[in-house]
Amino acid sequence: MAQQFVLKTLLDFASAHSLRGYPGDCANLHGHNWKIEVEIVGQELNDIGMVIDFKQIKKHAKEIVKELDHKFLNDIEYFKTVNPTAENIAQYLFRQIQQRIEAPNVTMHQITVWENDRNCVIYSEPSTS
């Protein structure tokens, strides 16, 4: 098996949402202080010994998180048709960050979205290599 390096960076944001069609309290407007763990994977180190600079990962992740921070998620264009569940938020963040990563031989590995200290979703997609 080839070597691989998994880099992880942490971010957070606060937002509110309501879950359409949910048969309970979460159908009502409520908020979370979300914690996000972004994981990037690569097999090769560059000439200075890095897979990718953590600053680059954070820059792209912060761009996406900023769009959600202190917002009502149901009003975000994507979530007008997709229910803003933790699962869908994880998938959205993963794909948005993945589109912005511009380093050779580096891909998204997985993302973990914590809605509180006890509940999280881990999302990944199969490797295309």
Known binding-site residue numbers for Zn(2+): 17, 30, 32
Q: How many angstroms separate the Cα of 45 from the Cα of each of 12, 99, 106, 125?
A: 28, 21, 10, 23
Query: Where do the H-state alpha helices sit in the chain?
Result: 54-68, 86-100
Q: Which of 26, 44, 63, 125 is catalytic?
A: 26
Tell me if residue 115 is catalytic: yes
Q: Starting from the edge strand earliest in sequence, which strands make up the sheet with 30-42, in order?
A: 71-72, 5-17, 30-42, 106-114, 120-123
Q: Is 78 helix (H, G, I), strand (E, B) or coil?
A: helix
Binding residues: 17, 30, 32
Tokens of 108: 């998204």
Tell me if residue 70 is catalytic: yes
Tokens of 36: 């996000």
Q: Which of 44, 70, 87, 125 is catalytic?
A: 70
Tokens of 28: 């009502």
Active site positions, annotated? 26, 70, 115
